């Protein structure tokens, strides 16, 4: 079993090193593709506005506060439920 784990780690290390060597050799050819992919993903993940159940929040700071408060409330409720059981 230990030998199998060792071989698995060796293969993983080899593949990681191989991919880095390949990236160093061919990286310049794929830079445009990489940046196009990354910027597209960034645009897709952007949150322009958030509806908190009562109103539409267009301001990023208000969005952070609303989501933070909702997560805090959820965590407190979860802890409270766990303590009552």
The rounded percent of the chain whose pLDDT value lies above 90 is: 0
Task: Return the ∠ at Cα 80 (arms to 53 and 78), rounded to 5°.
Answer: 50
Mean pLDDT of 40-45: 81
As for how many domains the chain has, the answer is: 2
Mean pLDDT of 16-36: 77
Clarify whether residues 40 and 73 are in a common domain.
no
Clarify whether residues 1 and 42 are in a common domain.
yes
Give residue 82's pLDDT: 45
**More confidently predicted of 29 and 39:** 39
Clarify whether residues 6 and 37 are in a common domain.
yes
Torsion angle, alpha carbons of 75, 81, 82, 84, to 10: 140
Clarify whether residues 42 and 15 are in a common domain.
yes
Domain of residue 53 covers 49-85
Contacts of 41 (CB under 8 A, 6+ apart): none
Clarify whether residues 2 and 14 are in a common domain.
yes
Q: How far apart are CA 40 and CA 22, in angstroms?
A: 24
Clarify whether residues 33 and 65 are in a common domain.
no
Mean pLDDT of 46-66: 85
Give residue 83's pLDDT: 37
């Amino acid at each position: 079993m230990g030998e199998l784990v060792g071989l698995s780690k060796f293969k993983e290390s080899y593949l990681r090193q191989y991919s880095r060597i390949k990236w160093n050799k061919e990286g310049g050819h794929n830079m445009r593709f990489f940046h196009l992919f990354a910027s597209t993903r960034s645009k897709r993940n952007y949150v322009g506005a958030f509806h908190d159940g009562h109103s539409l929040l267009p301001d990023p700071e208000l969005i952070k506060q609303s989501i933070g408060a909702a997560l805090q409330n959820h965590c407190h409720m979860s802890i409270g439920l766990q303590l009552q059981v």
